[in-house]
Amino acid sequence: MSLRSNDRQWGSMVKFFHWIVALGILGNGVWGLLMTDMSPSMSKISVYALHKSIGLTILALFVLRVAWRLFDRAPPDEPGPLWQRIAAHTTHVLLYAFVLALPLSGWWYNSLHGYPLQWFKLFNLPALTAKNDELSQTAHAIHEYLFYFLLLVLVGHVGAALKHHVFDQDNVLRRMLPFGRVRQSKSPSGELP
């Protein structure tokens, strides 16, 4: 499997970024929802610190992923109606925006609240802005609702991937799966070339 994408499938770098970020962001979101219900304790502080470190890692992966994506090529769209291709690309742009906005809004909220910030206890990161209790409520709500909106968009994204796989039986899902084998594409008339 090549690092770079080709005309038939995504390369292993794109697949790595896609699946690690998907797992990381969903896991960290659920972790975030659960941790806020904990009663105050030392372990709550560690759990929060881990949430933030994982979130910052996702932010770093986002930067690397976008840089790689600009350098890599994308396999051409599978044949299909124009509206479907526009919907898919719009969804992808939205998902990229969530992957950027979620950790940034967390960092923003953390700064407004005046919490310290470290990356896996290895180094400190600066606050993005000065402490502001009033604005921190808004930032908290933005951080939380961004995750719910991500889940909403994800329903469409996963639904479309499954529709392609089960009903259209094309390569859209296969070419993104870690060990997926792509099949010969059908021509628009339905015949195999």
**Binding-site residue total for ligand HEM (CB under 6 A)?**
43
Q: Does 139 bind ligand HEM (CB under 6 A)?
A: no
Q: What is the DSSP letter of 124?
A: E
Q: For ligand HEM, which stretch binds (CB under 6 A), given 38-46, 131-139, 168-176, 182-190?
A: 168-176
**Interaction between residue 186 and ligand HEM (CB under 6 A):** no
| 92/187 with CB nearer ligand HEM | 92
Residue 29 touches ligand HEM, criterion: CB under 6 A:
yes
**Three-class SS of residue 123?**
strand
Taking CB under 6 A as the criterion, which residues in 88-107 touch ligand HEM?
88, 92, 95-96, 99, 102-103, 106-107
Q: Helix or strand or coil: residue 118?
A: strand
Dihedral of alpha carbons 96, 68, 164, 174, sign: negative
CA 193 to CA 167: how far, in whole Å? 20
Phi and psi at 118, nearest 5°, equal: -130, 155
Rounded distance, CA 150 to CA 106, Å?
15
Q: Which of 119, 127, 144, 149 binds ligand HEM (CB under 6 A)?
A: 144
From candidates 47, 101, 135, 176, binder to ligand HEM by CB under 6 A = 176
Is residue 190 left, alpha or beta, with left meaning phi > 0 and alpha meaning psi from -120 to 50? left
For residue 39, the 8-state DSSP code is P
**Interface with ligand HEM by CB under 6 A: which residues?**
18, 21-22, 25-26, 28-29, 32-33, 36, 48, 51-52, 55-56, 58, 69, 74, 88, 92, 95-96, 99, 102-103, 106-107, 109-110, 115, 117, 140, 143-144, 147, 154, 157-158, 161, 172-173, 175-176
